[in-house]
Structure 1
Amino acid sequence: MKELTLDKQTIWYDEVLLLEEPSRCFAPEFWQQEDKVVGSAQGRGTTWFVQAEKLDAALRHYHRGGLFGKLVKDQYIFTGWKNTRSYQEFQLLNLLIEAGVNVPRPIAARAVKRTFCYQADLLSEKIPNARDLVSILQEHSLSAEMYKKIGEQIKKMHEAQVNHTDLNIHNILIDENSTVWIIDFDKCYQQPGNGWKQGNLDRLKRSFIKEVNKCQIKWDESEWSYVVNTAFNSN
């Protein structure tokens, strides 16, 4: 990881994955001018999918959620560069990759200081030809083997002691090779012990149940055992 300090901002990046100018790669306008925007997605803000020199990437500006986010949409209290959400997520993704978890590779992260606050951005790998579980389950159910693969990735993540605080079926992808990926590690962190791991799985199960009613996904509660038994398998 390289670190670049400019006026009131710090950028961290992987020089192998990022061939573009680091100071320009966080501006959607840069990618638009280069005609390298290949799509976008709406969440709390817009995630831009761009075609970088080395690989396709997702550019995300950090936005607050909840009621407070309506007042202060994208600023956070600054307590040090390495405490910023972008730096933390960049580092956590690298830790998970080393642990063998299928997560997007972090390409570059930025924090911009604004007096007592900061704003942040992350450029990370866009998993090729992958869709989230919601869109897949709207079309067809999954095999027991695929649910076991989901459980295996959660198990590896938990063995790395990473608490995914927003584990839901929008944040689990399957690509064209039937590889399972976990995404969106903003506000996630390493945590000792084991008691919190059941909470991760409970949250994931609730998201399955929610989307059955909301999006009519093809899922039955009997299939849940394949995920949870694999995630907690000690072998």
Structure 2
Amino acid sequence: MQIIQDKQQCIYFDENLLTEPAEQVFDADYWQQKQKIIGSAQGRGTTWFVQLANIEGALRHYRRGGLFGKLISDSYFLTTWQKTRSIAEFQLLTELHNCGVHVPRPIAARAVKIGLTYQADLLSEKIPDAQDLVDILQTKSLSAEQYQEVGKQIKKMHSLQVNHTDLNIHNILIDKVSKVWIIDFDKCCKQTGENWKAANLARLKRSFFKEVKKRHIQWNESDWQYLVTGYQA
């Protein structure tokens, strides 16, 4: 990991994954000029999918949600660089990846100071040939083994005391070789104790029920036990 830091900005990047100039890779125009934008997705803002030398990346600008986000869309109060949302997510993803949890590899993160606030960006690995559970379950059901793999990855994450504060089935992917991935660690953190782990799982279970009603996904409550079996293995 390399760090570029001055009074106005802080950039963390993995020199093994990033061969482009670290100061430029957070600008979508840079990738457009190089004709290396390979797609996009809409959420709170636009996530740009870009082609790096050896992997595909996902470039995201941090934006607020909810009512407050309509007033201040992408600025956050600055305390220290390490506590900015982009740098914190970069460091957390690095630890999870190094410990064997299937998460996107962080490529580069930036925080830029603007007065007493900052804006943030993250470039991370785009998982190739993967779909989230919502998309998959709209067309087919999962096997018991696949649910068990989901449970195993969550257990690995919990064993590192990482609380995924938005654990839902949009943030769990399965790729073409049935490898399970967990994504979107914005505002997630390491946490002591054990009680929050059950709350994490309860949140995930509620997301299955929600998507059964909303999108009629192919899921039954009995499938949950397969996931729990993998978690407890």
Q: Common fold, TM-score beyond 0.5?
A: yes
Q: Which runs of 5+ in 1 are unaligned?
A: none
The equivalent of 2:139 in structure 1 is 139
Percent identity between the aligned chains? 62
Structure 2 CA distance for aligned equivalents of residues 92 and 183 of structure 1: 12
Structure 1 CA distance for aligned equivalents of residues 78 and 2 of structure 2: 21
1:100 Cα deviation after fit = 1.2
Structure 1 CA distance for aligned equivalents of residues 162 and 103 of structure 2: 12
SS in 2 for 1:196: helix
Deviations 1:15-42 (A, max 9, x none): 0100000011000011111110111111
Structure 2 CA distance for aligned equivalents of residues 16 and 106 of structure 1: 11
Displaced runs of 4+ in structure 1, greater than 3 A?
none
The equivalent of 2:82 in structure 1 is 82
The equivalent of 1:102 in structure 2 is 102
SS in 2 for 1:57: strand
The equivalent of 2:126 in structure 1 is 126
The equivalent of 2:191 in structure 1 is 191
The equivalent of 2:221 in structure 1 is 221
TM-score (norm 1): 0.97
The equivalent of 1:165 in structure 2 is 165
The equivalent of 1:35 in structure 2 is 35
SS in 1 for 2:195: coil
Instruction: Please tell me the residue identity of whatever aligns with 1:116.
Output: L
1:5 Cα deviation after fit = 2.1
Structure 1 CA distance for aligned equivalents of residues 191 and 124 of structure 2: 23
SS in 1 for 2:120: strand
Structure 1 CA distance for aligned equivalents of residues 229 and 145 of structure 2: 12
Structure 1 CA distance for aligned equivalents of residues 13 and 63 of structure 2: 21
SS in 2 for 1:151: helix
1:229 Cα deviation after fit = 3.0
1:215 Cα deviation after fit = 1.1
Instruction: Please tell me the residue identity of whatever aligns with 1:36.
Output: K
SS in 1 for 2:63: coil
Could you tell me whether the CA contact under 8 Å between 1:50 and 1:57 is conserved in 2? yes
Structure 2 CA distance for aligned equivalents of residues 125 and 142 of structure 1: 25
The equivalent of 2:57 in structure 1 is 57
Instruction: Please tell me the residue identity of whatever aligns with 1:12.
Output: Y
The equivalent of 1:152 in structure 2 is 152
The equivalent of 1:116 in structure 2 is 116
1:230 Cα deviation after fit = 2.3
Structure 2 CA distance for aligned equivalents of residues 166 and 229 of structure 1: 22
How large is the RMSD of aligned CA atoms in angstroms? 0.9
Could you tell me whether the CA contact under 8 Å between 1:131 and 1:175 is conserved in 2? yes
Instruction: Please tell me the residue identity of whatever aligns with 2:196.
Output: W
Deviations 1:2-21 (A, max 9, x none): 01125611111000100000
Q: Which runs of 5+ in 2 are unaligned?
A: none
The equivalent of 1:20 in structure 2 is 20
Structure 2 CA distance for aligned equivalents of residues 185 and 77 of structure 1: 19
Structure 1 CA distance for aligned equivalents of residues 97 and 150 of structure 2: 16
Structure 1 CA distance for aligned equivalents of residues 158 and 203 of structure 2: 14
TM-score (norm 2): 0.98
Instruction: Please tell me the residue identity of whatever aligns with 1:162.
Output: V
1:67 Cα deviation after fit = 1.1
1:193 Cα deviation after fit = 1.2
Instruction: Please tell me the residue identity of whatever aligns with 1:141.
Output: S
Deviations 1:163-194 (A, max 9, x none): 00000001000000100000000000000111
The equivalent of 1:209 in structure 2 is 209
SS in 1 for 2:22: coil
Structure 2 CA distance for aligned equivalents of residues 54 and 22 of structure 1: 16
Instruction: Please tell me the residue identity of whatever aligns with 2:105.
Output: R
